[in-house]
Amino acid sequence: MTNGISAITVVLAEIVESAISLTDLERIVSHRRAGAVVSFVGAVRDHDHGRSVIDLQYEAHPNAGAVLEQVAQEVCARHDVVALAVVHRSGRLAIGEAALVAVVSAGHRAEAFAACADLVDTVKAQVPIWKHQFFADGTDEWVNCP
């Protein structure tokens, strides 16, 4: 599929409050120059450190979207990718929902895998989004919150 990409491109970098479509993101980074499309879906799991999680809420700092865009641009600069898309959820999420979806296309699989891993790790380290988990025993916990 040709979508007009001619250089290293961040196609999409945003924070949303609705469900994320992996299929849509894979479609928008696809290009005839790309021999590989690698994706990552970070889903809400039903446990954390031996405790049963019932749901969680993500809170995004007002500048989180700008930081996410900057991270995406930096990852593109470090890797030989064709296109990249990354979306992070905000708000209340149920077990099984996608919280973070990252998709990278590149000429070869090794570079696509490396760029996608770098993207996910850098998003988690730098983008100011905090997770508030709610447990079955009635307790709750903030994760990675300053």
Q: pLDDT tens digits for 13-56? A: 999 999 999 999 999 999 999 999 999 999 999 999 999 999 99
* pTM tops 0.95, yes or no: no
What's the CA gap between 83 and 91, in Å, rounded?
Answer: 27
Give the percent of the chain with pLDDT over 90.
90
What's the CA gap between 18 and 93, in Å, rounded?
Answer: 9
Domain borders along the chain are 9-143
The pLDDT, as a whole number, for residue 100 is 98
- Per-chain mean pLDDT for the chain: 93
Task: Name the CATH superfamily, with its identifier, for domain 9-143.
Answer: Molybdopterin biosynthesis MoaE subunit (3.90.1170.40)
Strand bridging mode 91-94 / 98-106: unpaired
SS3 letters across 88-136: EECEEEECCCEEEEEEEEECCHHHHHHHHHHHHHHHHHHCCEEEEEEEC
The pLDDT, as a whole number, for residue 9 is 83
DSSP summary character for residue 50? T
